[in-house]
Amino acid sequence: MLYKTISKANFKVFINEVIAGNVTIAPKMTDKDSEGNPVYQFQQVYAFDEIALNYTKTYSSLKNFFLPFKESLSTFQFDKNEWKQKIEYSIHPRVIVGVRACDINGLLKLDNVLMKGKYPSPYYVARRTNTFLIGLDHEPMADCFCQSLNSDEALHGFDLFLTDIGDKYFMQINSSKAFNLFKNVQINDIETEDEEKYIAEKKRIASLFKTRVAITGLSNLMDIEFESDVWKKWGDKCLSCGTCAMVCPTCYCFTVTESIDVSLKFALKEKVLYSCNLVDFAEVAGGHNFRPEPATRLKYRFYHQHRGFVESYDEPKCVGCNRCGIACPAGINPIDVIHDLRMEDVK
């Protein structure tokens, strides 16, 4: 890792150069909610001034740029007794600007499964390795609990990471690709004053976290509380809509569909993101459903986040962004569910 600073004026020049030569995705204000608060979303940008670097939150996560809701796995052409299969997973290099540390950590968790796991996904690997990531520190929202999950700091998984220290950014340069991009833009060595400002800003951000969730020993507690009525309490509220998994930066369950065109000459195999909360998630051939009740499905989602993933990767799958809690139409959020589990509160 190299540490440098860049003036905000030069950062603007740098980003405009990046935009001129690459597909660039960044947070944009796209709407206002019913209370007049801005709504932000990651979208393609065409100039630096479109970027909302001071964005608060995005309802959907960056996951969808790496795991789209629906993607083609392969197509088939039939001709008389011959058939051809076509598989495409190459993508053009692209840049994503303004990524939060918790979202970078979310991608690292997906990397564990989809890049470094037993069955890597070439579709995911192509998107991940062709994406240049520029991270940015930010103040936490009132309901963020990423600090409790050690996800408020990104130690790797990005090309550049910026911290605002006044009229310049403190930059962590984490790839030779990133360093080479600064050939035409001036960057500076770190001075003592920059280091002091950086440390002070890190401390200030860390002190702003208001929501804490007790994670220590949670996976063991889950073993003990497998039959807890807390699962029924929250499961009875669950509408089995699957929204929580769609917005979650680390949920990757999917289903595969196959369709054939009426001419019988063309077929398509597609992957569609799915959720373990959906009613037929554990239904098998013959119609038996291993998890018919919403409470069981909700419980298993939490077990994957905080028990099963810990067993496989020594860390929870959840990064503490609370997107699932914000999006849930039934008001179910991990902060309350984990609290109730610890307190055995079933009322």
Q: How far is the CB of 320 from ligand SF4 (least distance, A)?
A: 5
The DSSP bridge pattern shows strands 188-189 and 2-7 to be antiparallel
Q: Does 328 bind ligand SF4 (CB under 6 A)?
A: yes
State the number of binding residues for ligand SF4 (CB under 6 A). Answer: 26
Q: Does 330 bind ligand SF4 (CB under 6 A)?
A: yes
- What tokens were used for 150? 């050690």
Cβ distance to ligand SF4 smaller for residue 4 or 304:
304
Q: How far is the CB of 241 from ligand SF4 (least distance, A)?
A: 4
Burial of 218 per CB tally in 10 Å (0-12, 13-18, 19+):
buried
Judged by CB under 6 A, the chain residues 308 through 327 that form the site for ligand SF4 are: 318-324
Q: How far is the CB of 293 from ligand SF4 (least distance, A)?
A: 12
The 10 Å Cβ neighbour count of residue 6 is 22
Binding mask 271-310 for ligand SF4 (x = CB under 6 A): ------x--------------------x------x-----
Amino acid at the residue 60: S
CA-to-CA distance for 332 and 344, rounded, in angstroms? 16
Judged by CB under 6 A, the chain residues 185 through 204 that form the site for ligand SF4 are: none
CA-to-CA distance for 6 and 167, rounded, in angstroms? 9
Q: How far is the CB of 157 from ligand SF4 (least distance, A)?
A: 15
Judged by CB under 6 A, the chain residues 217 through 246 that form the site for ligand SF4 are: 238-244
Q: Does 7 bind ligand SF4 (CB under 6 A)?
A: no
Each as own residue / partner, the long-range contacts of residues 225-231 (CB below 8 Å, 24 or more positions apart, any chain) are 225/341, 225/344, 226/299, 228/341, 228/344, 228/346, 229/346, 230/337, 230/340, 230/341, 230/344, 230/345, 230/346, 231/295, 231/296, 231/298, 231/299
Judged by CB under 6 A, the chain residues 242 through 261 that form the site for ligand SF4 are: 242-244, 247-250
Q: Does 107 bind ligand SF4 (CB under 6 A)?
A: no
Binding site for ligand SF4 (CB under 6 A): 238-244, 247-250, 277, 298, 305, 318-324, 328-330, 332, 334
